[in-house]
Amino acid sequence: MMSSLQQKAVRVRIPASTANLGPGFDTLGMALSLYAWIEMKIANRTAIHLYGEELHGIPLDKSNLIYEVAQAVFVEAGVEIPEIEISMYSEIPLTRGLGSSASAIVGGLVAANALLDHPLPLSKLFDMATQIEQHPDNVGASLFGGMITATWDGEHADYIKITPPADLDILVAIPQFQLSTKAAREVLPQSLSMQDVVFNVSHVSLLTAAFCTGRLDMIATAMKDRIHQPYRGALIPGMTQILEEAHRHGALGVALSGAGPTLLALVNRQAGTGAELEQFLGDVLMDHEIDARTLWLKPDLTGPQVIEVSAQDSFADFIKGEVAV
Ligand code: HSE
């Protein structure tokens, strides 16, 4: 088996993700049409090759996250493959709230599992990914695609995948500065009032039902949150104004993307309000002296796409064909 494995390489395209969508803290996630690509093959000596500007600073030795999660798959599958070659290209900016670490975790798990011909079920990969990330929202979205609502009891994650309404476009405003999830979680309170808990339970339920039934008119109300955004607002100049006013400029709803600092607006493609909204987001952030770029995305509906190639095929050439590097 090992010699046929040595001829094989797998390539995986993994979507970025947004988490929370307002009230669904550590619960809701949506996969986005922004991608990372990972290639993995067995090697005589471990080597990690990174392509693209978004991956500066990522370790190139065995402390690399993708190497570590691949080893976790091999252990779980009962095989020993200590040396692997990993290549990665990513469009997903690091520590901006678009699930870059979740895409690396999911990509490493899916690629390692594909290299072994899929011994582990997706539910196991989801548990492993959530154990590493400690919340299921980003990893679940990247692993399953579409929108997910998920729970995590510390050992096992459950989820239901929802197909987002067909007319949904997503506008993200990505500030230049980085904000670690750790820092953005440290500002959260240790306990909440019963009123705030009830507020969020009712709003996340309304939001989930609005997505399931296509009730785009309910999204602005349903995306309100009281358990994380009010505390994180101080970390992102302009955020509070954007959350309060974006619906008047054509957003169906608006939220901090994951732990931030990216801001995310949901837009009805048929409404023709995109240009005004994009201008509004840019102007508010500029008024607060935040450099940011805006990007139009769609929900990714499929999750990871795996292709098997020969170990001799060039990853760099493949990436040049996939994206304009
Ligand atoms: N649900 C997490 C948070 C997402 O908001 O902290 C972080 O990526």
Per domain, the residue ranges of the chain are: 2-162+301-319, 168-297
Would you state the structure tokens that stand for residue 85, as one six-digit string?
């070659």
Question: How many alpha carbons lie under 13 Å from residue 232 in its C-beta half-sphere?
Answer: 27
Partners of residue 91 on adjacent β-strands:
none
Q: Look up the CATH number of domain 168-297.
A: 3.30.70.890
Q: Report the residue among 94, 181, 228 best suited for mutation to probe ligand 1: largest number of ligand atoms under 8 A from its CB.
A: 181
Q: How far is CA 38 from CA 246, 259, 304, in A?
A: 36, 24, 10
Distance 198 CA to ligand 1 centre (A): 20
pLDDT value, residue 165: 92
Distance 100 CA to ligand 1 centre (A): 12
Q: Whose CA is closest to atom 3 on ligand 1? A: 259
100 labeled binding residue: yes
The reported pTM is: 0.94
Q: What is the per-residue burial (b if ≥16 Cβ within 10 Å, else e) of 111-148?
A: bbbbbbeeebeeebbbbbbbbbbebbbbbbbbbbbbbb
Q: Measured in whole angstroms, how far is the alpha carbon of residue 192 from the centre of its chain?
A: 27
95 labeled binding residue: yes
| Residue range 2-162+301-319 in CATH 3.30.230.10 | yes
Q: Is the pLDDT of residue 162 over 50?
A: yes
Q: Is the pLDDT of residue 2 over 80?
A: no
Distance 18 CA to ligand 1 centre (A): 9
pLDDT value, residue 325: 47
Q: Which of 137, 175, 173 has the alpha carbon at shortest distance from 158?
A: 137
**Is residue 185 lining ligand 1, measured as CB closer than 6 Å?**
yes
- At 312, the pLDDT band (50, 70, 90 cuts) reads confident
- At 111, the pLDDT band (50, 70, 90 cuts) reads very high
Average pLDDT, integer, range 79-104: 95
Average pLDDT, integer, range 105-134: 97
Q: Is the pLDDT of residue 58 over 70?
A: yes
What is the average pLDDT value for the chain, to the nearest integer? Answer: 94
The burial of 196, by beta-carbon neighbours within 10 Å (0-12 exposed, 13-18 middle, 19 or more buried), is given as middle
Q: Whose CA is closest to atom 8 on ligand 1? A: 258
